[in-house]
Structure 1
């Protein structure tokens, strides 16, 4: 699963006050997360070529749980595992694990860069769902940016062209599932970021473990090692995301998640020899422009509310 502006949308802890907060440091942490997530996605694609995608997702989530739950217990003890909104945490976890399965399912059929670019439609879907379910107001500028982003997705997918693959719909389904989880996240109040991460890891591990009797293929030693590496990178990436959003406003930091498009294309070429074509580059560019402008408008709206308060 790609980091998605965010990437991968866990509720961030409050921005610390005082000199310790550094937007530049937050941007660097987020860029670091995009590198880590891109490497994890490349490993995921390699594993998905020999193992069933649900099993690859299971390896990722179980390793993630083994990393994050001890961290949660060390940071705050068992109390940090208790949520004030457990039903919403479970629903969010289901959205995230569904997103992972669909994204991993697409990787045997699509270059990493293409799957990543298509997945980055998620901020547009989050915005639309926020209007429907959270009653948020969206002006014509952000709807226009969303339309440009959708055009970018269509350029990457190219339905009706000779190069079109039905698997291109899988990252769109993945992004939709991610968007549902992100919107649910906005309704979760009172829980710390580590609590949300622990719930994501636990829900994903339990759901995927229930699927394993139907999808299990015994992995060899290399696949086990790659699976552990993938899961650890997944956990590290999420840690970087949490650290990033502790340093500054999300509207300032989030657009830098689009740097992942560069890493995905570069690593996809170096490892698999799949260089993004000009259509993918053009479509990804429009998607990134759409995301940057949407974040800019969010920042403008936040400043207007602050000054009018």
Structure 2
């Protein structure tokens, strides 16, 4: 799917930029970001084998917590009590959903959290790019690395299997198309609008995943999600609210 997303990213960038715009000084950083995305995608899609769509989506939203931790470690950002409290609450929500140590815990429950860590790292790296570099070009370079990284990771961790039917091929292309354009739209949005305005739409993904999982796969993991999902959502929104308030 990462390879298909690379094709779409090339199409998007080719329609928007000239070839001389492809040369950037921070190509290594862009490639590194792509590798982070490849690992995150591997963990995320592997988790979907054993976990409900809504559960994976909820744990994926812990990336806001890890963004705070990564910026503290690598950027020396100062975090006050409000955000530390939000981090602890969000972590507690993730633990509540995962239920480690109980008889219902499965190791794949840790995979969405691992994906959130790598997605958070890929998000934080955007701070290191020059403002003059467009979001489309960053996505193009990242997609190349993500596609190559996905091929390497897949060849070393799974057996190759051919696409069995036209419906499977259609689903894979549809996923890639939606994912590719979705990432580009998000990158443009976060560069143009305050994060606090966009965050609620991100958490709407949990509701969408819950609805789709219920309608399509007959999944209704209410006992797993609540109240952990509420804590994760509250944590992420609090972190973004405090970040925007500190900018004022």
Smaller-chain TM-score bracket: over 0.9
1: CA distance, partners of 2:188 / 2:26: 23
**CA 1:224–1:138 in structure 2 vs 1: closer, same or farther (change >3 Å)?**
same
Q: Which runs of 5+ in 1 are unaligned?
A: 1-59, 304-309
Residue 243 (structure 1) shift? 4.6
Corresponding residue of 1:299 = 244
Count of equivalent residues:
244
2: CA distance, partners of 1:137 / 1:79: 39
CA RMSD between the two structures: 1.6
Is 1:209 matched with 2:151? Answer: yes
Residue 159 (structure 1) shift? 1.0
Corresponding residue of 2:142 = 200
Decide which of 137, 155, 165 is 2:106's aligned counterpart.
Answer: 165
Corresponding residue of 1:236 = 181
When normalised by structure 1's length, the TM-score is 0.75
Residue 246 (structure 1) shift? 5.5
2: CA distance, partners of 1:198 / 1:216: 26
- The Cα offsets for residues 155-205 of structure 1, whole Å up to 9 and x where unpaired, read as 110112222111001111111111222222211224210011101211111
Q: Which runs of 5+ in 2 are unaligned?
A: none
User: 5 Å matches for 1:114-133?
Assistant: 114-133=55-74
Residue 213 (structure 1) shift? 4.9
**CA 1:247–1:89 in structure 2 vs 1: closer, same or farther (change >3 Å)?**
closer
1: CA distance, partners of 2:113 / 2:153: 23
2: CA distance, partners of 1:62 / 1:255: 30
SS at 2:170's partner residue? helix
User: 5 Å matches for 1:12-23?
Assistant: none
